[in-house]
Amino acid sequence: MLTPLLSAPFSWLRFRIGMARYKRRYRNFRPTCADDAVVRGIDEQVAYLTRLLDRGNMEMFLQRLAELMPKLYNGPLRYRALFVPELDELARRASLIITPNPNPPTNSKLLVHITSQVYPWGGHTRVIEDIAANLPEYRHDLVVTEMDQADPDLARVKPRFDELRLNVHLLHGLTRVERATELSSLINALAPEVVFLLAFPGDSVAHASVAGHSAQRVLYLHAGDHHPSLGSYRPDYAHIDLTPACHKLCLGQPRLHASMLNLTVKDIGTVELSRRSLMVGATCGSPHKYAGSSEFSYAQLLAALFAAGVDRILHIGDMPEEQRNRIRSEITTDGQDASRVIFLPNTPSLAAKLLEISPDFYLISHPVGSGKATLEAMSVGLPILHALPASELPLISPDMTFGTSVTASTLKQIASAVHRLEAEKDTLAKRSREVYERHYCPAGFREGLLSALNPDYSRIS
């Protein structure tokens, strides 16, 4: 039973004094990491969280853990660190308190997916849908930890979930402890064979509610593949990476026994490449993928493409007007016509949209790359242009093309990259499609899933 801490007034006073000291220490918060991508320098925060857990104050523990994580993954550790061992050990301990007893599976054909939120246009939501679509012999239940019934995004994706027979559960507790207990009880009642954990990196409710014994196997899908994430260092989960760059770092942590699962997109055919005189490119991604700068910004990249002879870039995906205006202004400052970048709204299927608009090449979002969108572009047979500065951190824009993209590490190289796209368009398109068929086709994704569900599957088959 979870018991609240500090019922006596004196204890409450001591706790408030402790919190004041904690906040003062937090102002000098300077975590670091080394080449092993492990977060260091958070000893005081770990000690504070440990005291909360030891005293039984689970609500405050979950709250402070959820508050600490964004300070790790929104700061300088982003794209550098992945693992927070001390916090994962505390989350594991919490999960043993919330879910103390093993839960033997009784529904051998039920898979439970746990995520924080779902989006009409989002790669992580699509991964859940892809799993359900490619394992039709299983029943699929989805638990969403941070949404309520009135959320418009949930209403938008509900028809897709219904088509996949993906049964959705929401948590109704008002406090984190209530939601954590509710989630643990729900998993216990469903008694699934396997739990897929695809929650936000800082979702303390999800990671402190799911113990390694919550199901026969708990599959941790490493979705936070470019910043520190809860769950990424837990040995009681089966660790599955979704991008090659993330997997390379996870292989350096032997205790994880990490495996790789190549993503997939549905095959809906290929683009018929046009013979237009001036090239048209397309790109797609959420606004944050185009914000900020590495060695050069997205706007500078667009200006260089226009200077190299690209006629238009079709930018697919809603973006705040302020951000669009900044991009246009920077393009104009660089001496190019800002009207040549055309902003299009979100689309339920990028592959279908690419078939419709039939561009000559696909530009990977910059400065932050997008894995799932790149796969959709390859699936329809588009050449891929990847702007990847030489000093770029490996996690910021992973190569999903197995080396088949046209790359440019400086703005001076954009002209030669565009020339290659023009000269080798058909060959590059063929290579993109071949990479999709070899590494990202639905059949291969299904085989990978079956191996993850049952480690003996490959030997059996």
Per-residue model confidence (pLDDT) at position 7: 39
Per-residue model confidence (pLDDT) at position 11: 46
- Check whether domain 280-440 has CATH 3.30.930.10, yes or no: no
Say how far apart CA 123 and CA 225 lie, in whole Å.
Answer: 13
- The CATH 3.40.50.2000 domain(s) of the chain lie at 98-264+444-460, 280-440
pTM of the predicted protein model:
0.89
Which residue stretches of the chain have pLDDT < 50?
1-15, 19, 22, 459-461
- Provide the CATH number for the domain formed by 98-264+444-460 in this structure: 3.40.50.2000
Encode pLDDT of 227-269 as tens digits: 999 999 999 999 999 998 899 999 999 999 999 999 999 999 9
Per-residue model confidence (pLDDT) at position 23: 53
Per-residue model confidence (pLDDT) at position 1: 42
Say how far apart CA 40 and CA 82 lie, in whole Å.
Answer: 11
Per-residue model confidence (pLDDT) at position 458: 55
Q: Which of 424, 378, 387, 111 is nearest to 268 (CA)?
A: 378
Per-residue model confidence (pLDDT) at position 21: 52
Per-residue model confidence (pLDDT) at position 457: 63
Classify residue 166 as exposed, middle or buried by CB count within 10 Å of its CB (0-12, 13-18, 19+). buried
